[in-house]
Structure 1
């Protein structure tokens, strides 16, 4: 994330300022802000609950306070120094979790912002038909429509560029997180099956399992929304009002609309690991794969 901070800054600049200067659907913006808050707060709460639950479980169990097993101190070492070191290690664990939360607190809003930018573009193209409802002459309406449609094509191109920048900036985070989550889901299910089922340990494992599902979902659901919202753009272009143009204006506009629709029909998708599409279907597949591996083991 630090290596790609310039790309991330550029994406945020375009999505929050440059692409909002001339047209901004306030209802879409409200939806984007509300969804960003809900998704980010939900992930932060669940991630913090995971670390806290393991700390509480370690504190309430018989024996020593152990959340992370280290080479030293030994698990059965009950000295004051060993207990102090375990507390320090727990705090260090918190430090790494906070860094992870910060990374997700950037990625989740940016992907939501990108999906809602496609939604904003869709609203923009639908609004172009209102140009022909004014009192100007037909020639003036056609001129305004042509300029507005070309501007929409430019915004679409800029939005696609932001998508490519997001793919480059977040690719390794997506890939690493998906691999890690698949491994941890499998290990947690195995642990739930084989470990001693006390109330605190079971609750800690369930909270961790929920955190993994939500964390993976926050990445894949919001990235999948980019594909869904981008797929609605060709329909909006078709209903933008091009049929109101006449004579020479109609002959200029129709090829422009056809080319723009053809370009927008190409699926916009984020990928991880080179082959996995970030989508709702891939999320379900990952959960099924994890369950299938555990089923084979047992």
Structure 2
């Protein structure tokens, strides 16, 4: 299927495929579940690119960690070092998690996009879900790069004021006293490293967020199916015999149960395959929010520095809030399925015992809450989003 027709007929698949393609170009491997038909030479070239891209990230991370051995760091550099040497390795932990769960993610992605769609789908709801994808991914990516640009502007300001090289990350080599063409080229790659690793982080988080939003979409489609089932039964009353009406409803109700089982399977397996990403993000957000608050208290309060720090805080809040709200939508949508099942029209089918039994089983299954969690303990929800922010401030208040 060509790209324009895919965008019109299956917008969710189009969006996921575009994300996976971008991750592929970043050297994060092929996460798409369909065969790409690449030649042997192309595969070897791409393997070399993956080694170079990931080696570049790892080498700069090690250079950053080694800077703890430096004795000439200023107070500002020490504060930045603690913050970045905590945040950047955690971002790469997300990449490693993606590599570990790659095969499982492919299976889950295929089930999300293809599993129950041939049975029943709503193109209108799919388009609405893709608009959600775009809003979440745009806000996350734009906030991330606004933060990077703010940090770069602050580095340029310090370059002109203090006559030091432009710096956004603190590394062991090169230090501020070293100069030369090769050193300047190396400095460029060190500064570009932050942009590169954030691109990886943004695409991973977008993939995880889109997976959560797709699970929520599945529960919305399920509710629509049961509403349409009721409408169909009400329209056929008086036009078909009771036996025909009962049989039609029973077949439709069984299909609805299958759709519900598929949605629950997707929720459970998205949690298993993407759960480590949520867990890392929650831990990272709490710790980095505390660090940013402390930096705002102890560091020099220039306008560009405050903008950079506020931008960093904002991206943490947006990223954590996106996860929490997308997961909270799943819990809410799943909780509404029981009402849709109860009002699906089973009471109009002559009171057959087997239909009542099916309805009771389906209702019992829908009463089990669907939660997405971090570390298997912290429930991702609207309420816990506020709790995470409060915990960060409380920890800062105790520490400071």
Does the TM-score normalized on the shorter chain lie above 0.5? yes
Q: Secondary structure at the match of 2:274?
A: helix
1:201 to 305, 314, 321: 305
**CA RMSD for the aligned pairs?**
1.5
2-structure distance, mates of 1:177, 1:222: 14
1:233 to 337, 343, 351: 337
2-structure distance, mates of 1:192, 1:54: 14
Gaps in structure 2 of 5+ consecutive residues: 1-97
2:140 paired residue number = 43
1:169-180 paired onto structure 2 within 5 Å: 169-180=273-284
2:396 paired residue number = 294
Q: Secondary structure at the match of 2:225?
A: helix
1-structure distance, mates of 2:139, 2:108: 24
Contact persistence 2:219–2:334 (CA under 8 A): yes
1-structure distance, mates of 2:264, 2:146: 37
2:179 to 79, 82, 102: 79
Superposition deviation, residue 78 in structure 1: 6.0
1:271 to 361, 365, 373: 373
Contact persistence 2:169–2:190 (CA under 8 A): yes
Q: Secondary structure at the match of 2:138?
A: helix
1:118 to 219, 243, 254: 219
2-structure distance, mates of 1:188, 1:14: 40
Contact persistence 1:64–1:78 (CA under 8 A): no
State how many pairs are aligned.
Answer: 295
2-structure distance, mates of 1:71, 1:29: 49
Superposition deviation, residue 173 in structure 1: 1.1
1:1-298 paired onto structure 2 within 5 Å: 1-61=98-158, 62=161, 63-74=164-175, 76-77=176-177, 79-80=179-180, 82-132=183-233, 133-134=235-236, 135-247=239-351, 250-298=352-400
Q: Secondary structure at the match of 1:23?
A: coil
Contact persistence 1:122–1:233 (CA under 8 A): yes
2-structure distance, mates of 1:156, 1:165: 14
Superposition deviation, residue 145 in structure 1: 0.7
1:142-194 deviation per Cα after TM superposition (whole angstroms, max 9, x unaligned) = 11110111111111111111111111111211111111111110000111111
Contact persistence 1:234–1:264 (CA under 8 A): yes
1-structure distance, mates of 2:302, 2:184: 23
1:200-251 deviation per Cα after TM superposition (whole angstroms, max 9, x unaligned) = 111111111110000111111101111110000000000000010115xx21
Contact persistence 1:131–1:141 (CA under 8 A): no
Larger RCO (CA within 8 A; separation ≥ 6): 1
Contact persistence 1:242–1:253 (CA under 8 A): yes
Superposition deviation, residue 94 in structure 1: 1.7
Superposition deviation, residue 92 in structure 1: 1.6
Give the TM-score, by structure 1 length. Answer: 0.94
Give the TM-score, by structure 2 length. Answer: 0.71
